Each structure stands twice: as structure tokens, then as C-alpha cells.
Structure 1
């Protein structure tokens, strides 16, 4: 089977390493370069290429590449399975070595741990993996849970009785596991993993214990990575900027108390009920802040930031998404907490969503008010960054959602809410379009749209193939915007035909892609329209497939 040889990148990057082989790169240096890439994102190692990207060729001893993969596997732990491909570039032979991302921290057989990183000037380097780097990477892959382990030097005296009482009050306030209220301190510690038994039989506070009910001074001394900030910026002026190291339940109370004056709300009437309309939904705010505090990487220095500015609310935390979670599956992947013991304790207290679907709650808190969906696009391997827009709510859309939820007697499914919000913004969708929004397959997207169709909230246009959907006329009428419905529902078939004929008359010809843009139709619908006009003798086809174009038919001679 013919395969295209790999192409040489223009420069080195986080995932690209060039190694000169003119003086024969030593086996140790080669293996360390592989380890370095494997402990980051994986990538490609080009042997026989200078740092500036110039191919200079392989040393004579490396021209036989057959044993190179075995060498790397034998001298890495756990073994790294690389793929070696010979490539002929610039008149010389070089080797392309594809390095997979390690599923755990990788070292050389001599115990050397390295990782690839980007320096302040934007260039890559291989740096030693220090103990906290290795622990962080282990947690990233879900292979260890630091929050369940005793904290070195911590004693029971570092736990605060006042914070224990706050914990019990939080169980009542947030509707947590009421069984916890009947337990004494020692049993509560065991149930929530606040302490762990040591080899000598004594109990010692875990990281979860210190973070939930620890004294502030103990947190400063024993968990120096724990810090959070609340900042308010208005027109480049700093209105509020405070950093704290409170235990987590006190932290949430403090953040909510300070955020409340900046979160005004008013009420609207929906039927017999008055519905509050805040600047930011408090349920979404609490879930987002709690997620940042619970899922941050406690091996890394850096604060959790809660920042309000003129454009919206930004919540960020150190530590990227854990392995297996991406921006493309954030809504659908199974919960994978970095700090499992801490997350479980917070769920039992009732502070975070007990189903593990806290992201759904954040989405719901934005979309039901007709605001843009939560924005995670600034998230990278080092930080999770969430942006919540604080634009005015779409009250007509909120009334629609509240009315439908009242009819159903329950909250709208998150997929349906996303579909309605996407139709509100984009005006027209196909099942394929919606599938990308809800991060599910096309079949599930179609079921969601058809359910909304049956409920009278959306209207379908076209046959099964190429079918599109808009909000129903009833939705636009309820908003007092009949003209908007007319625009989005589109023209009649006769009007489409006249548009196409007029375009062909004015421009001499028309293509299917131009019909798609002109009539706002799908490609299959445009093809059917052109075929109908051709059969009727009004258009003449020239060419086939993608090269086809259509002109007006000559009038019949009398």
C-alpha cells in the first residue's frame, strides 16, 4: 500500500523536535528526546535535521533504522512504542520518529524524567520533571488521587470545629446527604474522607479534610498551592481585588457574598409566576466556581480567579482538562474528576451537582435566559478558562422556556435547550448542525428536533433528506415578530423559482452553489429546484456534476 511520507515541519514546537545526527546522536540523547515528547503531548522527532530545520542526513551508523524502535522500547519505562519512517529530504536520508503521548509519566531506563515545554520566548525545551510535575501528571491521567492522601505534617488540631459546623449547615442548605447530620466528628471524617488512618493507627487529615474544614493558617502552611481571588474590573479600573486562602465552603460563601452586589436582578411575569432575571444565574455561578476549586490541580501554584469585567464573568483554574476530556466532548463524557475524594465529598455535602453533570447546569443557567452558551475556548493544557457572557437576557425566549417547562412539569432536557438556543441565534439548522452543538450523533440530534417539532416549538422544512428546521411561527408570534418568521421560514417554491430565473437572466448563468446562497436552501434542495426548472424547459444544463451550470432556455419560435 502506498503511503505519503511525512512532511518536514517549518520549525520546532511543543510536538516537533529536530536532532542533528552529523556527529552521531548518542543513544542516551535520542531516548531522552523521546521521553521528553512522550511526557508532553507526544509528537514527532526528526533525526538528521538541524535546529533551524535544515536536513543534513543520518550518520552512517543510523542508516539502518530497523532496530531503532526496539532500542527506544528497551530503554524507556514504561516502554514507548515509536514508529520510525525513513524520509529522503534535500538529497539526504533522515528519520521521522512518531512518539505517542505517554499514558503515565515515562522515564529512561536510567530513571531520567523529562518533559517538553514552551519557554517564555515561545521556543520549546526539554526540562526535568520534578516530583510535583510527576504527581500532577499522574493525577491528570486519573492514576492517583492526591485529595485522598494524608498531608505531611498535618494533625487533627489543624481541623477547625467552626468549619465542621459550616459543613453540617451546608448539608442542610444545599440539600446534601442528610445521613451525614447524624454522624459524630470521627464518623463524619471517615464518611467524607476528611482523615485517613496511618500505619500507627492514628488519624491524619487528608488534603480533602484540610480543604473542607482546615484552619486557614494550616492551609497557608501545608497547602501553599491553595488560593483564590475575586476581581472586579470596570473600564480598566479595579473595583475589587482580593486574594484569600479560606477552606472551600467558607470560600464559596465569601465569593457569593461579594459577587451578589454586582449581580442585580429584576423579575418578569410569566403566567401566574414572577421569574427572577439575574445578570448571572446563581446556580451556574456556584457550580462554575465550585468546579474550579474542586477540579484544579493542587500540585501547581496559581490561584483560582473569579473575574467580572464589562464583557462578562471569567472563572479560571490551574490545571488543564484531565485526560479524556476535551472541548469537543465536555457535554457528553463521563465525569472524570482530578481530585476524586474531594469531588465526592462536595457532592455529598450538596454543593456541586451530584450526578456529575455540573457542566449541564452551567449551560442551563446561561441558555434559558437567551444568553450565549458558556465559552471554554481559552482553555489550554495549563488552565481551564470559562467565560460567561453578561449580556441582557432575551425575556421572550425565557418566557418560552418557562412556559414549556410548565407544560412538561419538568425542566427541558439540555439537548432541547441547546437546540432552541441555537435556532434562536442561527435561525435555521439541520440535524448535522445540531449534532455538533450538543456533541452527540446525528440520530440523537434528529430525535431532539423531532421532539421539539411535536411540541410545536420548531417547524420542519423540506423532505427527510436535507431537512432543515426553524423556530415555529407560534414562537415568533409570541415574540410579536411576525416578519422574522416570514424571513426565516423562507419563500414559497414559486418565489424560489423566480429568484433563480431572474438571477440567470441578469448574470447569464447560475450554479447550484449560487442557488444555495441565493435561496438559503440546502444542496439537495437546490439540486431538486434546478432539476424541476430544467424538466419544465425553463433552464438548460451545461456540464456535469460540480462543473454544471444552467442558462435560460431559448423561447420557442412561433
Structure 2
């Protein structure tokens, strides 16, 4: 994210502004240490020195980066390492101090502990230390070991459930053949040292007893709410405080019981379109489970409305991810071990996939795009059931039957052209969330291989004549018919000047026309005595007169 955008958004859980010019430098070192401790004990973040609370850029002068790094290091226990970047912005220097999340509790050298709460840094008291009982790998909370847990906290009925899942879903796996302890150790759901068995956070969530989950991670629950049409108060509430696979299977069944189907007539057959594709809902739910902040006291909420589903998830997007790059940004699940375990259990096809599936399948079914909303401490995803573009659904279904599946980038671009008639190279990159070079490649592929798009002008594209016919878009068909045919005549003559001859199928590929339109254009060129027909039947071709 650019520094201008960070400043424009203001202070958040991950961003703090501090003045350099208005501060006492000795006192500022103490303040920076406190802020760094707060970030280290939460989810990491950055301090921008030289920016006022209201976002005004006042800059820094006569600073010593090394001195600041050493000051924070000397004033923290355990010692906290930070990085400082000097950014020149608006003609002034801004110091960007980067603090990583610490795998253990950090205090100031005076013994004071802080934690980030929203956009403020607050004292952090021992009774709140979740991490006191947890040790493990930096960066993956779900892989950390919960020290007080023992073998008695394992629900071995749930262990057998996991084994059966792997046996039935992964024919190549031999993992389920191991004894229970080896099985759990291989999945990294437990840590074994001598005779001592302890559960990781992921282990507690997947195979912990309900009593152990309630004791060590009472916040790890999923709440289902249902609403009637026109009502703002829910009419049913279901709280799931149980191992994850039990919760997922129960929610999936609840979803399938409510998921409706619409029949869309396509020629001689009917296409069944679900209100919500099953794989889309599953990916959305599993993403919430993999990305939620398990240190937050909030729960995952799944809200079922008559025409939409909203999934609310504690914890904001990972650093660098926002609504404008969520499709293509490399996945970085907050809880990597949970994500990997779901993959081993074949609940997801591959780690890191999900958002692209959600966008592609919703748009290709003629539904509105998934809507992500970011809040200070949560993310929500809205899926809508209504069919807003049946013609687009029919068009994509027919094209994929003939030419194979479109990519998510292609679907996003085609959807935009359907709604806006034309698209520029820059807009294609924006809607597909890819680079301009990648967008150019996708556009060229759609032009050359799928006979879908054609250039209207330099770096500007539109549907071909054939597509408008398939879409039954009479207004656009009539509007562009004359333009297309004039352009086609020029293209055919240019082709003949270069190649000598052309067939009707060549014209279809060259101009993006149907067989009927191609015949009509060629006949008009013959009537105008511009070309001659030679050969017969399938061996026929055309030359300039």
C-alpha cells in the first residue's frame, strides 16, 4: 500500500502517527517504545514519525535512525528488533518504523506491558495474557502449543472422524493407517516431548474436547443467525462451540437445507442454478475459519437472510490486502496450520485458493460480485442470491461448453464489457486486479482464441458482432451492426492484400462474425465486384477481383 493511502486512511490497529517536530525527543523515545511494545503484543504494525494525528505531514529533521532502533531495543524485554525506512513524501522525511508480531509477551524495561486496542495503545494486564500459556512458531498462532493441555484434552472420537475423512477423500494417503498419536503428530495437532503430550491451537480446535475448548479458547465459536424477510431482528440463533469439523459439517447441512434452485431455459434443456453455489459458500466459510483472529474475543457470525448470506469474521485483512487486490493478492492465512489441516482433509483443493473461486463462480452465474467490507477489527463478506444478468449466465455457459472454462480474470473483464459495452486496457487491469501487461495478454487471448472481443480503438475493446447475436441484445446489435460491417470489409480487403485468398471460416475468425453474418458480408463484397468466389463447396475461397 502506498504511503499516501496509509496516511489518508488514518490511524488504525496497524498504523500509528507520531509528531517529530512538536515532541520532546527524550520523551518521544519512551513513547515510541511503548507503541512498539503494543504492536509486538498484538499483530504487528508501523509507526509513521513525522505525521500528526490528523494526518498533516510535518516531517523529521536531525534524526538518527540507528539511535531510535537501539533505544527501542534497550528499553524492551525481551529485546525488540525494529526496522526503519526513511520515506521522502511531500518534500519532507517520514520515518517508517516496522514492528513484527512477537511470539511471546514483550514489556518495557520498566516492566510495563502494552497491547494495541483499535487505534490506541493500552496497558495489557497479566489476567489477559492468552499467550502466557502458548508457545510456538512466530507468525502462525494456530501452530503454537498450549502448555497446560494434556492427552486428556483430546477427543479421540473426533480423531477417528478425521481419519475417516482422509480415508474417504484421499485415496493416495496412508496417513489414516497410523496410530492416533502418530497421526496427530504428523498433522502437527499435538506436540510430544517424552511422555508429555500437549495440543497446538489448531489441535485444540480440531480434536479438543468441548470442555477443553471452552476452557482454553472460549472465543472459538461460530454463531448462526437467521432472519425473516423485512425483519432486522434474527428469529433463530445457533451457537456452535465444538471441534471445527463438526461445526463445518453442521453449518454445511444447514446451508444446503436452505439453498434454493432456479431453472433457466437454455434451448431444449433447463439449467439449474443454485441460489448460492455450494463450493462458494464452503470456500467463504473455510476462509473465515482460516483467517479469523483467534486472540479476539469475538466470534464468527454466519447470517442467513432471505436473499443474501453475510459472514462476519474477527480480524482485519492481512497486511497489504484490500478490496482492490483481494482476488489476486498472494494468500497469507493468519492461521497457516488450520489452513493446511483443512487441505489435508480435502475440504479445500489447495491452500491459498478461495477468493478467486468465489468471484469467478458468482459472476459467471449472472450474480452480483461478492462484497467485502473491512472494519477496524473485522471483515464481512456478502453473497447475494438474485440472478441479476441471466443473459450473461447463458452466454458464459454456452461459451464454456464450446471453448473450455474462462479464468477469473476473463470473467471479470467480460462482465464489465457486458455492463459497459467497452473496456480500456487500464480498466481491464483494474477490474481483474492484475497488471497492465497481464491485462493485455488476457484481452489478446479473448480477441484471438475465443472470438469474443475485438478492438474498437487503440487499447479499447468491445464484444464482437457474434457475441451480440448470442446475447440477444437487439439494441447493441443494431447500434453496432453498420460499424462492424464497415470495419469487416476493410479487414477482409487488408487480409486479401497480404494473403491472396480467404475462406468463410477465416472471415468468422478474423471479424468475430457468425456463419450467417460472414456469408452476408462476403456476398456484399461480391455484389460490389470487389472479390470473386473460386472453387466449390468446402474448397471454395475468395480473391480480390
TM-score higher than 0.5 here?
Answer: yes
Q: Is the 8 A contact 1:31 1:75 kept in 2?
A: no
| 1:45 Cα offset (Å) | 4.0
| 1:272 Cα offset (Å) | 7.7
Match of 2:500 in 1: none
Which aligned pairs between 1:95-244 and structure 2 lie closer than 5 A?
98-105=95-102, 114=114, 117-118=117-118, 125-128=120-123, 143-171=138-166, 178-198=173-193, 200-234=194-228, 235=230, 236-244=232-240
Q: Is the 8 A contact 1:72 1:80 kept in 2?
A: no
Q: What residue ranges of structure 2 are gaps of 5+ in the alignment?
A: 1-6, 74-80, 487-545
Provide closer, same or farther for how the CA distance between residues 273 and 129 of structure 1 changes in structure 2, counting only shifts above 3 A: farther
| 1:332 Cα offset (Å) | 2.4
* Alpha-carbon distance in structure 2 between the residues aligned to 1:254 and 1:54: 51
Specify the SS of the correspondent of 2:453: strand
Aligned residues: 461
Residue of structure 2 aligned with 1:293, choices 271, 289, 308: 289
Q: Is the 8 A contact 1:291 1:352 kept in 2?
A: no
Specify the SS of the correspondent of 2:99: coil
* Alpha-carbon distance in structure 2 between the residues aligned to 1:358 and 1:313: 17
Match of 1:394 in 2: 389
Residue of structure 2 aligned with 1:81, choices 71, 81, 84: 84
* Alpha-carbon distance in structure 1 between the residues aligned to 2:480 and 2:131: 54
Specify the SS of the correspondent of 2:235: strand
Matched, 1:335 2:331: yes
Match of 1:498 in 2: none
Q: Name the stretch that deviates more: 449-458 or 439-448.
A: 449-458
Match of 1:322 in 2: 318
* Alpha-carbon distance in structure 2 between the residues aligned to 1:65 and 1:107: 29
Provide closer, same or farther for how the CA distance between residues 185 and 276 of structure 1 changes in structure 2, counting only shifts above 3 A: farther
Match of 1:312 in 2: 308
Provide closer, same or farther for how the CA distance between residues 172 and 481 of structure 1 changes in structure 2, counting only shifts above 3 A: farther
* Alpha-carbon distance in structure 2 between the residues aligned to 1:334 and 1:394: 30
Matched, 1:42 2:38: no
* Alpha-carbon distance in structure 2 between the residues aligned to 1:149 and 1:100: 27
Provide closer, same or farther for how the CA distance between residues 370 and 175 of structure 1 changes in structure 2, counting only shifts above 3 A: farther
Which aligned pairs between 1:533-544 and structure 2 lie closer than 5 A?
none
Provide closer, same or farther for how the CA distance between residues 312 and 71 of structure 1 changes in structure 2, counting only shifts above 3 A: same
* Alpha-carbon distance in structure 2 between the residues aligned to 1:16 and 1:489: 58
* Alpha-carbon distance in structure 1 between the residues aligned to 2:54 and 2:441: 54
Specify the SS of the correspondent of 1:209: helix
Match of 1:540 in 2: none
Residue of structure 1 aligned with 2:347, choices 351, 358, 361: 351
| 1:258 Cα offset (Å) | 1.8
Q: Is the 8 A contact 2:190 2:198 kept in 1?
A: yes
* Alpha-carbon distance in structure 1 between the residues aligned to 2:321 and 2:254: 32
Specify the SS of the correspondent of 1:470: strand
Q: Is the 8 A contact 1:68 1:84 kept in 2?
A: no
Match of 2:512 in 1: none
Q: Is the 8 A contact 1:231 1:306 kept in 2?
A: yes
* Alpha-carbon distance in structure 1 between the residues aligned to 2:356 and 2:417: 19
Specify the SS of the correspondent of 1:325: coil
| 1:276 Cα offset (Å) | 2.5
| 1:98 Cα offset (Å) | 2.9
* Alpha-carbon distance in structure 1 between the residues aligned to 2:55 and 2:399: 61
Q: Is the 8 A contact 2:150 2:196 kept in 1?
A: no
Residue of structure 1 aligned with 2:447, choices 442, 448, 453: 453
| 1:238 Cα offset (Å) | 1.8
* Alpha-carbon distance in structure 2 between the residues aligned to 1:424 and 1:284: 23
| 1:185 Cα offset (Å) | 2.1
Match of 2:261 in 1: 265
* Alpha-carbon distance in structure 2 between the residues aligned to 1:172 and 1:97: 56
Provide closer, same or farther for how the CA distance between residues 217 and 66 of structure 1 changes in structure 2, counting only shifts above 3 A: same
Deviations 1:338-365 (A, max 9, x none): 2222211110111123252111221122
Which aligned pairs between 1:268-283 and structure 2 lie closer than 5 A?
268=264, 270=266, 275-283=271-279
| 1:188 Cα offset (Å) | 2.1
Q: Is the 8 A contact 1:229 1:244 kept in 2?
A: yes
* Alpha-carbon distance in structure 1 between the residues aligned to 2:383 and 2:56: 46
| 1:75 Cα offset (Å) | 0.8
* Alpha-carbon distance in structure 2 between the residues aligned to 1:295 and 1:278: 27
Matched, 1:26 2:21: no
Match of 2:398 in 1: 403
* Alpha-carbon distance in structure 2 between the residues aligned to 1:35 and 1:351: 38
Deviations 1:399-453 (A, max 9, x none): 3222232223x53222222222222233211222111122221121122122222
Provide closer, same or farther for how the CA distance between residues 52 and 203 of structure 1 changes in structure 2, counting only shifts above 3 A: closer
| 1:65 Cα offset (Å) | 5.7
Deviations 1:55-102 (A, max 9, x none): 9x9xxxxxx9635544422211314537599x99xxxxxx97633332
Which aligned pairs between 1:527-538 and structure 2 lie closer than 5 A?
none
Q: What residue ranges of structure 1 are gaps of 5+ in the alignment?
A: 1-7, 58-63, 89-94, 119-123, 495-558
Matched, 1:436 2:430: yes
Provide closer, same or farther for how the CA distance between residues 371 and 130 of structure 1 changes in structure 2, counting only shifts above 3 A: farther
Match of 2:246 in 1: 250
* Alpha-carbon distance in structure 2 between the residues aligned to 1:143 and 1:488: 59
Q: Could you say what the CA RMSD is over the residues aligned between the two structures, in angstroms?
A: 4.2
| 1:475 Cα offset (Å) | 2.9
Residue of structure 2 aligned with 1:427, choices 392, 416, 421: 421
Deviations 1:236-281 (A, max 9, x none): 2423222211211111111122223332113345578654311111
